[in-house]
Every structure is written in structure tokens, then in C-alpha cells.
Amino acid sequence: MLICFQNLIIAQKYKFIFEFKIIVSMQKIAFVDRDGVINDDTGHYYVYNVEDVKLTEGLISAFKLLDDAGYKIVIVTNQGGIAKGIYTNKEVELIHSNLCKLLKQQGIQEPELYYCPHHESVELCLCKKPQGLLLSKALARFRADNELSFMIGDRETDLKAAEDAGIRGYKVETNKGILSLVKQIVLA
């Protein structure tokens, strides 16, 4: 009987350690839409040239706050111009690469990029916002806590994607920046 009791204590001890590791490894993710939120897309229906990227006001400060607060930053964007043949995956990735270099110079972690290259006029898919698949994939990949994660976007499709993925969604005015919202979230 004593052996069984000792085994139970050991099993409970390891179960606690296992549960503690799961809790500790849970991350919080700040999902951010690209066009109209990260970059000002005034005058552009599609932004696919590096020289057309103009960061919204306060973006670097907002990302610094998120980074300092321990959020993993994940950019989630629909890029239907790829399916339409207007631009390529390579051009989307070049914009992301340049953004990462800029953020790294400011001491901010490199954000992840999840994008949908499809457009409903060419082909149907499950990854285009308002579907929450891209967000759900990132939540699973990084073992993120849905309660601590959120999405910032400028369209109803962003909010619907957040709802679909089981996280909070915040809508901001297009091309107006996210700093004040990020301050409210992080400093609350």
C-alpha cells in the first residue's frame, strides 16, 4: 500500500510539472491586419511594391509596447491580388522582409506573417478572412491562450475572423494607427 501511495504522489508531482509547463508555454498573440492598419494604403487598392509601404502613425511604438508586454505579433492579411495575377507571393514576402528589418532595428521581435493568396473571383478557399483559419493555425502553432490573444483590424472581416478563432477583435479606423488602442489593451 505504501508503494502505491508513493507512486500516486510521484504521479501527481509529474502531473503538476506537466500542467505547469503547459501553462508556462502558453503565449499571447496580437494579430494585426496589414493593409490599412500596419501600412497606410491611401490611394492603393493593392499594396505590393515596397516603395508604396507607408507605416501608419505610431506603429513602431505600438509594436514596441506589444513586444515589451510579451505578445507574439502575427500579421494576418488577405492578398487576393496574387490569385488575380496582379502581384506575386515574392512581392508580399519582400514587403514583410523589409518590415521585419525595420522592426529589428528598433529592437522589436520579428512578426510572423500569415496570408491568404486566394480571391473568390478566381478560387474558393478556407483561409481568407472572414474565416478564422489563419488565426487558428497560429494559435495552435504557438500554443497561444485565446483569452489573452486578440486581433486588430479595420474591417468587419477582421472582427469575424477573430470571432471565428475564439479571440477578441478590435476594429480601428483605416489608416489612422493603433497606438492608442494598444495602450488601452496593454496598460489595462
> Going by DSSP bridges, is the β-strand pair 168-171/28-33 parallel, antiparallel, or unpaired?
unpaired
Question: Which grid cell sits at 182?
Answer: 494598444
Among candidate residues 33, 41, 67, 158, the one labeled active-site is 33
Among candidate residues 35, 40, 154, 158, the one labeled active-site is 35
Chain centroid, CA 152 distance in Å: 8
DSSP label at 56? P
Do 80 and 48 form a contact (C-beta atoms < 8 A)?
Answer: no
To the query of whether residue 33 is one of the catalytic residues in this protein, the response is: yes
To the query of whether residue 158 is one of the catalytic residues in this protein, the response is: no
Longest dimension (CA), the chain: 77
Do 75 and 103 form a contact (C-beta atoms < 8 A)?
Answer: no
Give catalytic residue positions.
33, 35
